[in-house]
Structure 1
Amino acid sequence: MLGQTYDDQLCSIARTLEVVGERWSLLIVRDALLGLRRFEEYQDSLGIARNVLTKRLTKLVEDGLLERVRYQERPARYEYRPTNKAKDLLTAVLSLMHWGDKHAEDPLGPPRITNHLGCGGNVREQLACTECGQVVRPDAVQMLPGPALTTPPA
């Protein structure tokens, strides 16, 4: 059984959950990717308690997903901008969103639609081979032991 942390797990997913696995963290990253920047914007969007939001924003800054930038001198006010590390989560965020649209759907339809700014077409995440560029179906993916796996997988 997993405890409160995943420190003893030799798993990239577990290490990722250490950063964004807390209930509010991925929703804050989602909002940052949507363009929210200020504390009040996050609070209004999420309905989260101020003390919880403060802790989550602080951790996301410490983990390098958000950058805290002063936008006003007196009084000092800050905004939280997504870093490239947060932007690298876009595919995962979209995958979760599209999964929810399909398997935990709202009767009124999806809350958001992803369109390509260039042509207006629908954007979908997909698996692709880095060698041949072919789109790969999930049943054609093989997960093999990597260099960090020193004991046989369970």
Structure 2
Amino acid sequence: MLPYKAIRLTIARGLKVAAGVPTIPLNDGGDMPAGSFLTYTFSDFGESDDGRPIITQEDDKVIRSKAVTFTISILSYADSVDDSVENAMKAQDWFKVTGAEQLRDTLDVVVVLVGEVQNRDINIGEEWERRQGFDVDFRATDTAITDLSGWIETAIITKE
């Protein structure tokens, strides 16, 4: 299993420090912060890089490892477009250097691609929600550990 909570917390805390604004999950149901803030949401979690897992055994455990990819979308909200773009660019820079190193070194998660900052305004009823955003693609190793069942104690070998 991917360490989802650790990945999410590392990203949220890192972006809060890098951009200097609150960073919250998108559509979490809580109150929106006043002023500028960032949101994040994971999508395409756990897509396979390829179709072949690596299966190994250690003692009485079977370890299945597979390279997977996932994407996170970052949105920057602010009263002015300038502030929104600047906060998005600060977040983008965090993923390019500090965040990439931190995720790689502590969680074995690799930043594959940091997308460009784009206008992601949306119309909600009669109001416009002004925001800038970008996507980040990651690669990690998804590991599942299960008990080994069905030990072969003896095998009858016949010559036929």
TM-score, structure 1 normalization:
0.27
| Larger helix fraction of residues | 1
| Larger strand fraction of residues | 2
Using CA pairs below 8 Å that are at least 6 residues apart, which structure has the higher relative contact order? 2
Query: Larger Cα Rg: Structure 1 or Structure 2?
Result: 2
